[in-house]
Structure 1
């Protein structure tokens, strides 16, 4: 890389990092908490109060915490605080993304890296902070690969998995896509060995501590991802510089179909790559010089819509949620603390944003359900059956050891 290119890279990385950090700071400190915020706040509090306890008796009639969801996020959040860690994760991801795409494609990646700096901040609306932390590690791992630092790639892969198994899956998709583009396993054996070793370790943890939960993945959720992959393949086909993207779209297509067919805790979460949809599309069309317009314009528009939709929905939901305040739940908490025996649990009829899953356990009140929908299956699957009657409901409450049922007047 020439001196001029290094200066341009430093400039782009600085701009992307500064933009992402500024926007993230504003959203973190000046807007309502994101959708999953309370879940992370509760688990951070649980860690501070009880240490790294694997078993948590306050969610889902008892479940394993941390070990299969995120090993390192909550200790780091306890040390730095949720907001500071989120800010660092987002800024680091923006910096690493700009370096990775510039290192691969040069100055044509500038629009892509800047769009990532703006759009990636939208993850704050969902408050998917373990995933955000893991993505920053994943991007640093890819950067290490570009530099030929296989040891650093191995460390980054382990950190990615420890922060979020979902992000590790997406890292494996990217690395596999690059290997497919090469058409040979000659120079990727170390990467494959590292990823395979991490995957085996994670599967062992799920075997030992998993709850058998699964996250739904409906056909209507699958279709946008298939369209994104299809258009991506059309845009990158035959473009020599876009071979890594071409391989990525093929591997991601396979990952989508696998997650759809095979029930697992991943489910429709595999589509979280949509937070990078527009930056990826902008690279793809730039590599073919924005021609032909009939192909590249729809590709960019559809990617932008798919990218922006979850961000807009997240912020609209959190800005109008009446149940987010602790004061809303205080009367119920006070009553339950005065009347609930330690031998019983509480069933809270689920609300739109699941806030009671944070406030009641934080007050020492065990509940039957919790924050993560995938953990409802198969234990609480009957609650999703339209034919559940009074007898079935009563039987389920008795099996779960429920003494009180709490029905809020917030949206359910």
Structure 2
């Protein structure tokens, strides 16, 4: 037994080391991820106020932590965002290699290595609570493979506490295993009961702390997710040993369709599995021995496109962002400290890096927005209007949120702020310029 497990352990450790090395390069030498600003502020809020259920500095007030991540921000406060990101990426690579090695043996080797390389790129997205949840979910599956049900239960609970989205994907993976191996159903009764219990707990929390938010889900993203699922199901159909993977594709297709049809805070986030599309595709193709080769090459290319597109977008849009420097915001903060009444809020025209959501509330300035896309709906739906908006609608929206000042920068705007920035620059917004600064 020792001789058989040693190569797998060595392979898993090497994958973990490679993932840690690549993630370190990206997190310390690369640009901050798209969501980095959100976590930087939430970590600050935790350090300043502890585990507060309500935050009055984003979105005219919102619930924080309780329905998003219960354990990520305490951990980030303890060891820092970047170090925690590298650790979670490394642990995930280790667990992924072990899980696949135990299930499929040497056939899964290239999938494990592609995971180590591709998953390191998740730091470019800034989806750090999800990355933590994914690492815990993989550890939970590993525990289930060893027959340790109570360890699985503890890790599943930690997954839900780290990221409800990662917990959802864990539930889908286990459902795929259950359907693919229905003859072994009795062995999965306890894990299934644990998942149902944790899912019920999450549902109660979402009911108690409901915010009515909705995350958008475009037709284009739905189509991409469906193509991935259908292609994956086709590639694994009637392939020996691929039944759990096949049913995962089928169930994931159903989850995509449900998330698109039912407006919720999940929305397009259900497609987060795209961050491992390449290693999953490599696994599916390896199980069928890469035959036929032309189909395998095209399939891998499509998976790579779906996997890498959001990471490339983040890399391009967060590089050389002048608004990421704290000094950039000092003139606006100084003016607002002198003139803003506690009875009013500020609307900061959102930038591509969303750093307005960090530096202004960190300075004690409450915002009409922040950086949590779900909370823009329905409260700030006006900014996402396909037909644009004019002075009357814009002023009505500002007044409804108690906004006294609007901050417009020369940094690239978020796509939701382009019409707003255009209106303000046109001089037809109905607002008076009170301060101009040079960055």
**Normalising by structure 1, what TM-score?**
0.97
- Residues 37 and 353, structure 2, Cα contact 8 Å, conserved in 1: no
Q: Which residue of 2 aligns with 1:163?
A: 162
Matches within 5 A, 1:5-404: 5-184=4-183, 185-385=185-385, 386-404=387-405
SS in 2 for 1:369: coil
**Which blocks of at least 5 consecutive residues in structure 2 are unaligned?**
414-439
Shift of 1:305: 1.7
Shift of 1:80: 1.1
Shift of 1:226: 0.8
User: 1: distance between equivalents of 2:100 and 2:4?
Assistant: 13
CA 1:301/1:4 → structure 2, altered by over 3 Å: closer, same or farther? farther
SS in 2 for 1:187: helix
- Residues 134 and 163, structure 1, Cα contact 8 Å, conserved in 2: yes
**Which blocks of at least 5 consecutive residues in structure 1 are unaligned?**
none
Question: Which segment drifts farther, 132-141 or 193-202?
Answer: 193-202
SS in 2 for 1:232: helix
What whole-Å deviation, never above 9, does each CA across 1:346-398 have from its counterpart, x for those lacking one? 01122222210111000100000110111011112122223533222222211
Shift of 1:151: 0.5
Calculate the aligned-residue CA RMSD, in Å: 1.2
CA 1:83/1:199 → structure 2, altered by over 3 Å: closer, same or farther? same
What whole-Å deviation, never above 9, does each CA across 1:2-28 have from its counterpart, x for those lacking one? 444312101111110110111112222
SS in 2 for 1:228: helix
- Residues 235 and 295, structure 1, Cα contact 8 Å, conserved in 2: no
User: 2: distance between equivalents of 1:21 and 1:122?
Assistant: 11
User: 2: distance between equivalents of 1:86 and 1:147?
Assistant: 27
User: 1: distance between equivalents of 2:405 and 2:316?
Assistant: 32
Question: Which segment drifts farther, 250-259 or 381-390?
Answer: 381-390
User: 1: distance between equivalents of 2:394 and 2:32?
Assistant: 33
SS in 2 for 1:403: strand
Shift of 1:138: 0.2
Question: Which segment drifts farther, 382-391 or 243-252?
Answer: 382-391
User: 2: distance between equivalents of 1:110 and 1:227?
Assistant: 25
Shift of 1:92: 0.4
Question: Which segment drifts farther, 182-191 or 165-174?
Answer: 182-191
User: 2: distance between equivalents of 1:15 and 1:197?
Assistant: 36
- Residues 59 and 368, structure 2, Cα contact 8 Å, conserved in 1: yes
CA 1:4/1:298 → structure 2, altered by over 3 Å: closer, same or farther? farther
- Residues 125 and 318, structure 1, Cα contact 8 Å, conserved in 2: no
- Residues 27 and 124, structure 2, Cα contact 8 Å, conserved in 1: no
SS in 2 for 1:367: coil
User: 1: distance between equivalents of 2:262 and 2:353?
Assistant: 27
Shift of 1:76: 0.7
What whole-Å deviation, never above 9, does each CA across 1:326-355 have from its counterpart, x for those lacking one? 122111111111111111100112222221
**Normalising by structure 2, what TM-score?**
0.91
Question: Which segment drifts farther, 391-400 or 138-147?
Answer: 391-400
Question: Which segment drifts farther, 394-403 or 267-276?
Answer: 394-403
